Amino acid sequence: MMSNQEPQERTDAVEELDELMTDESTEPGMSYTIEYDDDTDSAVAGADDTDTADSTDAEPEVTAEPSADGAGTGDEEAQAAAAALDEPDEEDSTDDVDDSVFRAYPMFSMRGVTVTDAKTGEHIWNDLTMRCEAGTSYGVLVDAHDTRQHDTLVALMAGFAHPAEGSVMTKSTPLHDLTPLELRGHRIGVLLQQFALRGDLSAAANLEYAMDASNRNYLKPIAVLAQELLTRVGFAPSGDDNATQAERSRALVRTLGAVDRARVMVARAIATDPDIVLADEPTATLDEADAATILDLLRAQVHGESKQRTVIVVTTDPHVAGAMDETIDLTH
């Protein structure tokens, strides 16, 4: 049953989520100190409506030639039937148009993105373009020796910063047109390099905190959903009894080992059922076996319960990038 409780404005909570990287109660996070210009080029949204308006109206014309005596013959009837078989079904035509629109507007894209260091005038990124489709995981490989490029790219993709030129978009909407509540409460689940979780909260409470701040309506109590998510990512395996699961879920994040923290991080990123999951070096603190486990878990998140997601992993490790379905190499 859908909850009858009216959603409450939680913009303060969302702003607090955005400040987690510098919160004293959190794990150490990344900070973005690059200065960006404000005159961001905006892309036109809603073009998918105009592009498809005329595509479904036109129907191919089927013409049967009359016989010499004006009566239809068996051959003519056969020709008309064959022509009808060749005529595209209206529903199929609509599906083709929808597919065309989907291909024109991928789940995530960067188009002609240029970012300049305001102090030095140097280009950090110049004319950067990429596209990432739903139902696919991507490993974005960046230069291990250029941390400024790395940090700036993650900030752009997460919507923490905006380019001076070009656009960063989800489908046909620029990220800068979305509020923090809509962007990080609904569209993008972010896994930061240093596990940006509330260290003073339990594993379950971290998920409940994110869901509560998203201002969404849920079909189940968020405490129940949090436990289900933790089970799904293998933090509290389904073979455990209820008491063991509850005890593990109440453990403070700061007391957990690296792989368990990574599992909670994945669960928290998908807690609000986002369209995009963005991870920055999610295996940096893990050994080879645990890293493979978390990468498999991330890749599996392209298949949500009700949607196909885009999963993007930003990394300096070619092996991590290669573990995803496709690799986007930005090191050249």
Q: How many CA atoms lie within 13 A of 163 on its CB side?
A: 28
Comparing C-alpha atoms, which of 198, 208, 204, 200 is closest to residue 246? 204
| pLDDT tens digits for range 148-190 | 999 999 999 999 999 989 999 999 999 999 998 899 888 999 9
Residue 324 has pLDDT above 80, yes or no: yes
Residue 240 has pLDDT above 90, yes or no: no
Answer yes or no: are the C-beta atoms of 34 and 152 closer than 8 Å.
yes
| pLDDT tens digits for range 121-147 | 899 999 999 999 999 999 999 999 999
Helices 203-213, 222-232: axis angle to 10 degrees equals 120
pLDDT reported for residue 6: 44
Answer yes or no: are the C-beta atoms of 272 and 186 closer than 8 Å.
yes
How far is Cα 50 from Cα 47, in angstroms, rounded to an integer?
5
Amino acid identity, residue 151? Answer: D
How far is Cα 232 from Cα 227, in angstroms, rounded to an integer?
9
Q: Is this model's pTM higher than 0.85 or not?
A: no
Pairing of strands 108-116, 123-132: antiparallel
Answer yes or no: are the C-beta atoms of 103 and 52 closer than 8 Å.
no
Residue 48 has pLDDT above 60, yes or no: no
| pLDDT tens digits for range 253-271 | 999 999 999 999 999 999 9
Quickly state the pLDDT bin for 306 (edges 50, 70, 90).
confident
Amino acid identity, residue 118? Answer: A
What's the CA dihedral at 44, 46, 48, 50 to 10 degrees? -90
CB burial readout 245-262, b (16+ within 10 A) else e: beebbeeebeebebbbbb
Q: Of all helices (H) and strands (E), which one includes residue 17?
A: helix 11-18
Strands of the sheet containing 188-191, edge to edge, are: 188-191, 276-280, 310-315, 136-141, 326-329
How far is Cα 172 from Cα 42, in angstroms, rounded to an integer?
11
